[in-house]
Chain A
Amino acid sequence: MSTGLYGTYGGRYVPETLIPALEELDAGWREAKADDSFHSELHELLTNYAGRPTPLTLAERFAPGKRIYLKREDLLHTGAHKVNNALGQIVLARRLGKRRIVAETGAGQHGVATATVCARFGLECVVYMGEEDMRRQRPNVERMGLLGAEVRPVDFGTKTLKEATSEAIRDWITNVETTHYLIGSCVGPAPYPEIVGELQSVIGRETHEQVLAAARRLPEVVVACVGGGSNAIGMFHGFVDDADVRLVGVEAAGAASLGTGRAGVLHGSRSSILADEDGQIADAHSISAGLDYPGVGPEHAFLRDSGRAEYVGATDEEALAAFRGLARTEGIIPALEPSHALARAKELEAELIVVCLSGRGDKDLAEVLSQ
């Protein structure tokens, strides 16, 4: 009866307490998807609150001799693609009658997006964040506070996104009857990978239309960074049926769940994860808090195995160089996460490329300046 499978990946590896909530969520999601009023409410919010559609910008000076188009998710309200998912899930949570929201955050972008939509709809919001991430993403911690969310520090284990996610799930187990878990990436037990993937696929749909209008053809390659993988899956969904378009995901070299991982179970689903031979989860390492995660969405593991998408790595240094490069050549300060995608995009053997610029870099200034 395994549900929500991508090949052999995905599923529901969670304590029994959560199964009825996942079934309720799944039913609510299917109802919402079939309901025009859900789509019109979400469309109105994405347009007039979040600022969609986002532009597609040609980065002429960043990569001379190529046409690299940037999908400008950095221009969205709250500064990253995360708000697409947060808005969709908050509309869903309200339909389910939930009054309390819990979330995990790594870089803080998902936490800020969640705190924002909770403020907008007057819902209680608790965000779990690793102490190490709170240190390196201070401005986002302060933003969440201003927005009325309670940020709960997680002070054990790696003190990063992995532990924050575990604690958010433990909170959900405890308060499941009143609470919606607003997961930030295309990970977790079914139906979360599907929900987040579909809510983010607005990125790919818009890009497909925009690149055809701008370049009069489809790109040779689309590139996106991959931590949990939500901006990448959203972008890839727009091109997965176009067999001639290469899909390239870029992981942090020290957190390459797809590049160097193995099949395993983490946070409710089977995917490719960083784990040792006994199945114990390994530590990820990245300068970018948003990519510093030892798991990845199950659909990415499936796309890798099927050969439809390829996944490569970029080091901290390469990401930093791209971060500085884009700022100097285009007047755009990217987040460290998509800086990994920018680093690889520049050297691809292709002329027409789209990169998902998933967020802006204001949150990363202190970390970059300290390097």
Chain B
Amino acid sequence: MSKTLVIYLMSGRQTPELAAAAVAGGADIVELGFPFSDPLADGPVIRRAAERALAEGMRTRACLECLERTRELAPETPLVPMTYASLLEAYGWQRFDADVRAAGGTSMIVADLPAGERPELARVQLVAPTSTDERIRLAGELTDGWLYLVTLTGTTGARGELSPALPGLVERARRLTNVPLYAGFGISTPDHARTVAEVADGIVVGSRALEVAEEGPGSLQRYVASLRAALDAALVV
């Protein structure tokens, strides 16, 4: 089975075109960041991108419009907003969920809403190397489609080396749940992609994708294609 490539982009004016380029490069799923002023789970690249997006006026309504336009340009690709609880609290939890789905969202990720809080809100759950078996099992039961494996204890952002914690986390998650496991945080190069694909079902690339996206859709498409090729090569081996 082909490995899944998830690309994270921050909502903004260029995002629908960038998302289309990512899909053309081989992305299977696109995460759309709805920026928050105080993103605890994020390192400097995504934090700065959020600051810029907010300065451009990317508030919740504008992000939903961005999601709608992205849906038009990428009609077949699952689109997953990723945000923080404060936005849902302000917008209304149920209303946020309904409007995301109406705008073409497939599910969502709420970075500071751990499994067990607000169980009625369907979303992709995250687990981390620190998660107990009990929590991995709970997240697997509650998650919406796939489980997001946070590869390291830390915030988002490209790293030189892959986290040594990942294989152990994958092994535990395999025992405790049957859902697909996509790994993210600190994955940025084709080499990383190839290595992670040997154990996980897919990868999530965020901070490095944002940096490349600043150079425009062409660069993003080439970068995503390089990750795609690495994932597909891993499959052949």
Chain A residues in the interface with B (C-beta under 8 A)? 1-2, 11-21, 156-157, 162-163, 166, 169-170, 173-177, 262-268, 270, 275-281
B162 CB to nearest chain A CB (Å): 16
Q: Measured between alpha carbons, how far is A163 from B84 in the docked complex, in Å?
A: 16
- Find out whether the CB atom of B117 lies under 8 angstroms from the CB atom of A177: no
Q: Which residue of B lies closest to A263 (CB)?
A: B89
Q: Measured between alpha carbons, how far is A21 from B114 in the docked complex, in Å?
A: 13
Q: Which of A1, A21, A177, A281 contacts B86 (CB 8 A)?
A: A281
B161 within 8 A of A: no
A40 CB to nearest chain B CB (Å): 33
Chain B residues in the interface with A (C-beta under 8 A)? 36-38, 40-41, 43, 47-48, 51, 54, 59-61, 84-91, 111-117, 119, 125-132, 135, 139, 150, 153-155
- Find out whether the CB atom of B85 lies under 8 angstroms from the CB atom of A265: yes
Q: Measured between alpha carbons, how far is A12 from B54 in the docked complex, in Å?
A: 25
Provide the main secondary structure of the chain B interface: loop
Closest 5 CB pairs of A and B: A279-B90, A279-B86, A17-B128, A174-B154, A265-B85
- Find out whether the CB atom of A12 lies under 8 angstroms from the CB atom of B114: yes
Q: Measured between alpha carbons, how far is A17 from B126 in the docked complex, in Å?
A: 9
- Find out whether the CB atom of B90 lies under 8 angstroms from the CB atom of A15: no
Q: Which of A20, A174, A265, A280 contacts B59 (CB 8 A)?
A: A280
- Find out whether the CB atom of B36 lies under 8 angstroms from the CB atom of A279: yes
A291 CB to nearest chain B CB (Å): 18
Q: Which residue of A lies closest to B148 (CB)?
A: A16
Q: Which residue of B lies closest to A279 (CB)?
A: B90
- Find out whether the CB atom of A20 lies under 8 angstroms from the CB atom of B131: yes
Chain B residues, CB < 8 A from A166:
38, 40
Q: Which of A15, A20, A157, A265 contacts B132 (CB 8 A)?
A: A20
Chain B residues, CB < 8 A from A21:
130
Chain B residues, CB < 8 A from A279:
36, 60, 86-91
- Find out whether the CB atom of B112 lies under 8 angstroms from the CB atom of A265: yes
Known A2-B117, A177-B130, A279-B36; judge A16-B155 contact (CB<8 A): no
